[in-house]
Structure 1
Amino acid sequence: MNRPLVVLFAIAAGSFATAVTLAASKDDVARSPIYGVAIPDGYRHWEMIAPAHETPPLDELRVVLGNDVAVKAYHDGTLPFPDGSVLVKLAWKHVQSKEFAPAFVPGAATTVQVMVKDSKKYASSGGWGFGRFINGKPADLAQHQSCLACHQAKVVDHDLVFTRYAP
């Protein structure tokens, strides 16, 4: 008669242990140096903002995705972007298709780059936090230090965002 209670307790204890492990792993996510930005959950399901092709030496195919806040800002033409906007750029090596010679397709993944808008948290960097990840791990400090300088030098008039919405 006591046996079902023991089994039930064991199941509940196991579920609790799983919940604690999941909570710990969420706190353990890889974050960029300087800004503390992480790759956002579910970003692969976000709307596409625009594709891009980088010429050599990078020679990459890229696509920028945006969360709902960023997408609404693009649709409404809102600048500066509102707090809560998140942009994710995926990049792959540019390779010729084996099946269709005139086409080029994504090859090996190179980086995932993230921009998070929080005008208070990132006040000293134009309101944006930056993250660059290679194989899911943050790139080195020097690569993160170059993010802000490049954006400030080239797109200060577009709230530090290079990508325009593709119609």
Structure 2
Amino acid sequence: MRRNLKWAVAALMMACAATAAPFAASLADGGASPIFGVRIPDGYRDWKLIAVGQEVAFDELRGVLGNDTAVKASRNGALPFPDGTVFVKLAWKHIPVEGLKGAFITGSPTTVQVMVKDSAKYATTGGWGFGRFVDGKPVDEAQHKTCFACHEAHAKDHDFVFTRYGR
């Protein structure tokens, strides 16, 4: 199990570096998410990796990056997260490596998701604004309405953030 986790971390770190072009293209569009007005932050590709994960239901591998505020708060276990915290989750399709049971690599990118902490601006959603982008464009309003509901149902005790700092 520990070996598989090491493979997962290595694969996601390489994917963060190797797939910059598809995700970087989304920066040029500049579209804001409906409801929240969140945009993909400039320079996010240079942020630090906070955690990795796998979403079985969507067959995805995920890497969560954070700005300096997010990294510091995550390392220190600060709750609630301070205003100015920004997390960016990158997701890729999960592809098993043939002949290496339990090993996998990242496939094509699927989404870029953004969480921005601004307690005044997003007071009705726990202080968080959300953005979900596919191929560099924000998804429709109906999909954005599900963001906070899911975070509220499953991560309320951690200031609505699923991610834990990977040590």
What TM-score, normalized by structure 1, do the two folds share?
Answer: 0.80
Shift of 1:140: 1.2
Match of 2:142 in 1: 142
* Residue matched to 2:92: 92
1:164 is matched with which residue?
164
| Residue 17 of structure 1: aligned partner | none
Please report how far the alpha carbon of residue 31 of structure 1 lies from its aligned counterpart in structure 2 after TM superposition: 0.3
Q: Which has the higher contact order (CA 8 A, sep 6+)?
A: 2
User: Can you list the C-alpha shifts for 1:24-60, whole angstroms capped at 9, x where unaligned?
Assistant: xx9x7210000000000111111111000111x3010
Alpha-carbon shift at residue 97 of structure 1 (Å): 3.1
Question: 1:65: Cα distance to partner?
Answer: 0.4
Structure-2 residue corresponding to 1:35: 36
**CA apart distance, 1:100:** 5.5
Deviation at 1:101, TM superposition (A): 6.0
Q: 1:142 Cα deviation (Å)?
A: 1.1
Give the aligned partner of residue 59 of structure 2. 59
- RMSD of Structure 2 on Structure 1 (CA): 1.8
Distance, in Å, in 1 between the alignment partners of 2:150 and 2:102 is 33
In structure 2, the residue corresponding to 1:155 is in which secondary structure? Answer: helix
% identical aligned pairs: 63
Residue 50 in structure 1 maps to residue 51 in structure 2: yes
Note the C-alpha offset of 1:102. 4.5
Give the Cα–Cα distance (whole angstroms) in 2 for the partners of residues 29 and 160 of structure 1. Answer: 26
Matched pairs, number: 141
Q: Provide closer, same or farther for how the CA distance between residues 36 and 99 of structure 1 changes in structure 2, counting only shifts above 3 A.
A: farther
Task: Give distance in 2, aligned partners of 1:101 and 1:135.
Answer: 31
Amino acid in the other structure paired with 1:35: F
User: Distance between the aligned counterparts of 2:37 and 2:145, measured in 1?
Assistant: 13
- CA distance in 2 between partners of 1:32 and 1:101 (Å): 39
Alpha-carbon distance in structure 1 between the residues aligned to 2:146 and 2:43: 27
State the distance in 2 between where 1:100 and 1:153 align: 37
Whole-angstrom CA distance in 1 between matches of 2:102 and 2:153: 35
Partner of 1:106: 106
Q: CA deviation at 1:95?
A: 0.5
Structure 1 letter corresponding to 2:143: Q
Please list every run of 5 or more consecutive structure 2 residues that lacks an aligned counterpart in the other structure.
Answer: 1-26
Instruction: Determine the C-alpha separation between the residues in 1 that align with 2:154 and 2:108.
Output: 28
Superposition TM-score, scaled by structure 2 size: 0.80
